[in-house]
Structure 1
Amino acid sequence: MSAAPLTYSRLDKSGFDALADGHPDVVIPLEQTPSWVEFEQALGRRPLGIWSYRDAADRLVATAGYVHVVRRFRESVVVVNGPVWFVERTPAAERALMETVRHQFREDPSVDPLYVRMQVATLQAPATGPIEHGWYEREIVVDLTPSEADLLKSFRPNARNSIRRAQRNGVEVKHIPRMEWKEVFGTQLFPIMQETAERDGFQSFDSSYYETLLTVLGDHLRLLVAYRDGVPLSWLITTEYRGYSVYYFAGSTHEARSTFAPYLLLWEAFKVLKAAGNTACGLTGIVSENYPGLANVTTFKKNFSKNVVVVPTTYDIPLRPVRYAAVASLLTARRTAPSAARAVLRRAAVLGRRSGREPVSTTET
């Protein structure tokens, strides 16, 4: 096997912090930090650390934090919302990184992944697929640098009117003290998340996931709740890291919509995030080709900004291409024709036995 195009090394926390401090203008997602590694560990998952990649001139090219994921018929290594780039993200640079990552995990004796999953801006070999999509591809980003008055003025009229209507309806936004986060979420807010998931047709995590998030990542989070007459109607969790904030999780009741509570809630979040020194707030995913189900939230989010940011699509880098193709065919068959899936399933099982590894079931990021 040829040598990797880039050199790579694992970063400890002090090494990561020094690297981040040396590049203050690079946006580093919270999911690509040592704090997120601690969160993954607290969930019982297996993070593989954060790695740096350098070229022949010892110039920092990128960093990537990995999580080892095991599901039936496949293991994978997943980069959540990354990698992070410190040079221009050209097709040639991406190919060099992908070839290096493929070499890295083929040679790693501690894992036996079928593929590595990461965001790729230019689809080219060795990237393909993906077997399933893992991250949104478009998002709204709100500029928080204008004054509060100018920021409010930048919203669509519908948003400004909805904020005023929420105030007239008696909606009150509260910042929940950190020591109360876990109890408030479990007793008051998780039922709202369940209602939201059922109404909008998605599957939420269980309550322990959000409670672990609030416990482990508390230094980077805020929890705001909209109440009316003491009853919680809507809530949100925001993240913050290096001046960039994200509207990360949220839930709302049917009454929240009729009282316009989510509009006032998000406006109050913008104000507190701005006051804390954040210069932008990402509103996470909106509708795209691979995520048509995000159409409903897109309408809401576009009320606050016209700034649509393209996020590189998540692709797979197969490490065992023949078996990867078989597994991909299996999953496609399951979605389209159950009888065909059984035939592909048998083939995948044979390939699994040949590999000498038995599949284990867990949850993938």
Structure 2
Amino acid sequence: MIRVTSTPPADWAERIAAASQSEGFAEAMRLMGYRPLYVWSAENAALALVRGWRLTARANLFATGAPWAFLRGALDALTARGVPYVKVGDTMWGVVADGVPPDGTPRLSVTPRHTFVLDLAPSEADLLRGMDGAERKIRKAEREGVVVRPVESAADLAAFCQLSHETSDRVRARTAYTDFPPAFFETLHERMASTGAARFYVAWHDTAPLAACVFLTHADTMLYYLGGSTRNRELTTKQAPTAVFWRAIRDAKRLGVRYFDLGGCTPTEDVNDSRHGVYAFKKRWGGRLEAFYNVEAILSPFAYRLQERVVTPLWDRLHPMYFRLLDAAHALRRLTRVPTSSPVEPGAQEG
């Protein structure tokens, strides 16, 4: 039997298979306008992040490691709650072979994704020897005096958020892209950094922040999740993003993490493809290219057509303003927060 609850069961942390299913990640995603639903059975678990209501509702379902039988039941459960469209996974997470629906399943489409995964068992020297260009950029960053530090203060986090915002602005000038508000990173840091589930870094040159990344860790894997960097031409040659990745890899190895997932990419050798730069950067580290899959489920064709023609174009244009309002509301709540003596009972059923 599959259950769907608005709060996680007490043993949720033991049930999940990825950081994207954690309660801390779910709470951070509230600042993106989502409401989390915890979907679980005796053997499997998934996190559904739902935005909108009824005809406008869409869900992202994070179900790493789950088989198709569980996903089918989870989709049925979300259909019963009036969600017309569900995407299983995103560019960073998805399902593997046994989570893919059978060919010809109605109203479902499957998108292959790729990521490079670096095995951290070898020594640092062997890891460097196995790289294809990243090692030269690591040495360049060291010669340039780039210093990478964990985010430990409000000022560090503000620098992180500024770099992320600048990068979002650049990307949005070319294509649709989500601009993550500071409140999202603040909550992610507050809920996950203290346990090591999230690791935030900023690369500096003197007092100038050059690059910032956040990595999420669960079980034996650390995954690159989000980042940003300066486009000051006097500073971009210092190879700060490479320095951040190398610091994270070394920390992961020191902590006993076995695998370093460089995050989703699109394999292409076409230098004119806008996705080539990300692919080339991640390929240089010497990891193994692995496939995973996203599944898109159109549970109500009429509502989906409405979303595609009206809601999605409006969202792409207006979501930065929406996030600024959420950010302001979050800041106001933090100023006026009053401790409560009546916590919600874990596992409460969604109404």
After TM superposition, the score normalised by the length of structure 2 is 0.72
Q: Give me the whole-angstrom Cα distance separating, in 2, the residues matched to 1:45 and 1:241.
A: 22
Deviation string 1:276-303 (CA, Å, 9 cap, x unpaired) is 11111111111159xx643221111111
Q: Which residue of 1 aligns with 2:128?
A: 152
Q: Give me the whole-angstrom Cα distance separating, in 2, the residues matched to 1:332 and 1:47.
A: 21
Worse-matched range after superposition: 140-149 or 292-301: 292-301
- Mark the CA change 1:306 to 1:31 in structure 2 (over 3 Å): closer, same or farther: closer
Whether the 8 Å contact between 1:143 and 1:280 is mirrored in structure 2 is yes
Q: What is the CA-CA distance between 1:270 and the residue it aligns to?
A: 0.5
Q: What is the CA-CA distance between 1:333 and the residue it aligns to?
A: 11
Matched, 1:78 2:60: yes
Deviation string 1:199-229 (CA, Å, 9 cap, x unpaired) is 3444421222222221222221222221112
Q: Which residue of 2 aligns with 1:25?
A: none
Q: Give me the whole-angstrom Cα distance separating, in 2, the residues matched to 1:327 and 1:129.
A: 19
Q: Which residue of 1 aligns with 2:224?
A: 247
Q: Give me the whole-angstrom Cα distance separating, in 1, the residues matched to 2:308 and 2:34.
A: 27
Q: Which residue of 2 aligns with 1:167?
A: 142
- Mark the CA change 1:33 to 1:164 in structure 2 (over 3 Å): closer, same or farther: same
Work out which of the residue numbers 189, 196, 204 in structure 1 matches 2:167: 196
Q: Which amino acid aligns with 2:170?
A: R
Q: What is the CA-CA distance between 1:99 and the residue it aligns to?
A: 4.0
Q: Which residue of 1 aligns with 2:77?
A: 104
Q: Give me the whole-angstrom Cα distance separating, in 2, the residues matched to 1:147 and 1:67.
A: 39
Q: Percent identity?
A: 22
Whether the 8 Å contact between 1:34 and 1:50 is mirrored in structure 2 is no
Matched, 1:184 2:163: no
Deviation string 1:29-61 (CA, Å, 9 cap, x unpaired) is 111123333333465631111312x6xxxxx3x
Q: Which amino acid aligns with 2:2?
A: Y
Q: What is the CA-CA distance between 1:79 and the residue it aligns to?
A: 0.5
- Mark the CA change 1:71 to 1:185 in structure 2 (over 3 Å): closer, same or farther: farther
Matched, 1:68 2:50: yes
Larger RCO (alpha carbons 8 Å, 6+ apart): 2
Gapped regions of structure 2 (runs ≥ 5): 90-98, 315-321, 324-351
Matched, 1:140 2:140: no
Q: Which residue of 1 aligns with 2:20?
A: 31
Q: Give me the whole-angstrom Cα distance separating, in 1, the residues matched to 2:115 and 2:140.
A: 26
Q: Which amino acid aligns with 2:250?
A: K
- Mark the CA change 1:105 to 1:314 in structure 2 (over 3 Å): closer, same or farther: closer
Matched, 1:267 2:246: yes
Whether the 8 Å contact between 1:285 and 1:294 is mirrored in structure 2 is no
Q: Give me the whole-angstrom Cα distance separating, in 2, the residues matched to 1:67 and 1:333.
A: 17
Q: Which residue of 1 aligns with 2:201?
A: 224
Q: Which has the larger radius of gyration?
A: 1
Matched, 1:14 2:3: no
Secondary structure, counterpart of 2:105 in structure 1: coil
Q: What is the CA-CA distance between 1:326 and the residue it aligns to?
A: 3.4
Secondary structure, counterpart of 1:312 in structure 2: strand
Q: Which residue of 2 aligns with 1:208?
A: 183
Q: Which residue of 1 aligns with 2:345?
A: none
Matched, 1:128 2:102: no
Gapped regions of structure 1 (runs ≥ 5): 1-6, 21-27, 55-59, 336-361
Q: What is the CA-CA distance between 1:183 and the residue it aligns to?
A: 3.2
- Mark the CA change 1:223 to 1:105 in structure 2 (over 3 Å): closer, same or farther: closer
- Mark the CA change 1:29 to 1:127 in structure 2 (over 3 Å): closer, same or farther: farther
Whether the 8 Å contact between 1:65 and 1:83 is mirrored in structure 2 is no
Secondary structure, counterpart of 2:24 in structure 1: helix
Matched, 1:312 2:293: yes
Let me know the Cα RMSD of the aligned residues.
3.2
How many residues align? The count is 293
Q: What is the CA-CA distance between 1:127 and the residue it aligns to?
A: 4.2
Whether the 8 Å contact between 2:151 and 2:157 is mirrored in structure 1 is no
Secondary structure, counterpart of 2:27 in structure 1: helix
Work out which of the residue numbers 11, 26, 40 in structure 2 matches 1:51: 40
Secondary structure, counterpart of 1:311 in structure 2: strand
Q: Which residue of 1 aligns with 2:335?
A: none
Q: Which residue of 2 aligns with 1:350?
A: none
Q: What is the CA-CA distance between 1:256 and the residue it aligns to?
A: 4.2
- Mark the CA change 1:99 to 1:171 in structure 2 (over 3 Å): closer, same or farther: closer
